[in-house]
Amino acid sequence: MRRPTGGIGGLLEVRGVSKSFGGRVAVDGVDLSVGGGESVGLVGPNGAGKTTLFNCICGQLRPDKGSIVFCGRELSRLSPWRRARLGIGRTFQRIEVFPELTVRDHLLVADRVRHRSGRANLWRDLSNRAAPSAEELGRVEGVLSMVGLVELADVPVAALDLGTCRLVELARALVGEPSLLLADEPSSGLDERETREVASVLRALQLTRGMAVLLVEHDLAMVEAVVDRVVVMDLGCVVASGAFADVMAEHAVRRAYLGTA
């Protein structure tokens, strides 16, 4: 599938998206836009609806109302894997790795989806032509070194700790060269040094590759280090947006986080 190219200001447009579970409204008429190469933080207290909104964008959940447009293409009828192939990468709040595969195989799977997803794979396998090429290994090694996982490349992911699994997820998403990365609490389970490294990787990719980032994160220091602007959600609604320092000073944001009037 050919990837559409989105210009600045038009990469992701979320308009009036709502999602309810039973009688509880998790996301309520949210508008959000992310431009090409832009880095946006999505913050808010637990239960604000951030991950639900992520799931709606990725196709894990179908919104009750509203539209989601990526690079000018309406996403609502597309399955999650089709959205991924359009260039939306994702890391998960609850780790979603393939326990029996090694770290390198994780990245190879993602790389082959990006470069070799045709129907001829079966024929290549049966004719014993499925070994990774030097070019593939080069791409994979590049991402592994970027996130500091080279030494663990041949370790099955089941043997890794939670923090390292998060890095594997991040690397797996990056090897697919997404236009937009949805990072759901990437610092969860990481120590301070690892968090700083992840932040610098995200910032570097944004600047060098023009990759847009939509970051859900509770570590506000990391958010400040990575994003160009921030959107604050509370009780399913957007309550503020703008530059990090300005937004954090807003009354509605302080009330959402601290519960003060």
Is residue 125 near another protein by the rule CB under 8 A? yes
Q: Which of residues 131-150 bind another protein (CB under 8 A)?
A: none
Q: Pick the binder of another protein from 45, 93, 114, 257 (CB under 8 A).
A: 114
Q: Pick the binder of another protein from 16, 99, 138, 210 (CB under 8 A).
A: 99
> Contacts with another protein: how many residues (CB under 8 A)?
44
137 CB burial (10 A radius; 0-12, 13-18, 19+): middle
Residue 87 falls in which region: left (phi positive, over 0), alpha (psi -120 to 50) or beta: left
Binding track over 191-230 against another protein, x by CB under 8 A: ----------------------------------------
Q: How far apart are CA 105 and CA 2, in angstroms?
A: 24
Measured from the CB atom, the residue of 126 and 261 that comes closer to another protein is 126
Q: Pick the binder of another protein from 25, 69, 101, 220 (CB under 8 A).
A: 101
Measured from the CB atom, the residue of 58 and 256 that comes closer to another protein is 58
Backbone angles phi and psi of 211, in degrees to 5: -80, 130
Residues in the chain: 261
Helix axes 134-147, 103-115, angle to 10 degrees: 120
Q: How far apart are CA 110 and CA 92, in angstroms?
A: 15
Q: Which of residues 4-43 bind another protein (CB under 8 A)?
A: none
Is residue 105 near another protein by the rule CB under 8 A? yes
Least Cβ distance, residue 94 to another protein (angstroms): 9
Instruction: Assess contact for 210 and 37: CB atoms under 8 A.
Output: yes
Sheet holding 73-74, edge to edge: 24-34, 12-21, 65-70, 73-74
Q: How far apart are CA 208 and CA 112, in angstroms?
A: 23
Is residue 57 near another protein by the rule CB under 8 A? no
Q: Pick the binder of another protein from 5, 76, 117, 133 (CB under 8 A).
A: 117
Measured from the CB atom, the residue of 126 and 258 that comes closer to another protein is 126
Is residue 92 near another protein by the rule CB under 8 A? yes
Q: Name 200's Cβ contacts closer than 8 Å, sequence gap at least 6.
A: 225
Is residue 189 near another protein by the rule CB under 8 A? no
Measured from the CB atom, the residue of 74 and 125 that comes closer to another protein is 125
Q: Pick the binder of another protein from 150, 159, 243, 249 (CB under 8 A).
A: 159
According to DSSP, residue 3 is labeled: P
Least Cβ distance, residue 86 to another protein (angstroms): 9
In angstroms, the Cα distances linking 65 to 18, 19, 49 are 5, 7, 15
The Cβ of residue 73 has, within 10 Å, a number of other Cβ atoms equal to 12
Can you give the binding site for another protein, defined by CB under 8 A? Answer: 58-60, 79-82, 84-85, 89-90, 92, 95-101, 105-106, 108-110, 112-114, 116-117, 121-122, 124-126, 128, 130, 156, 158-159, 162, 169, 172-173, 176
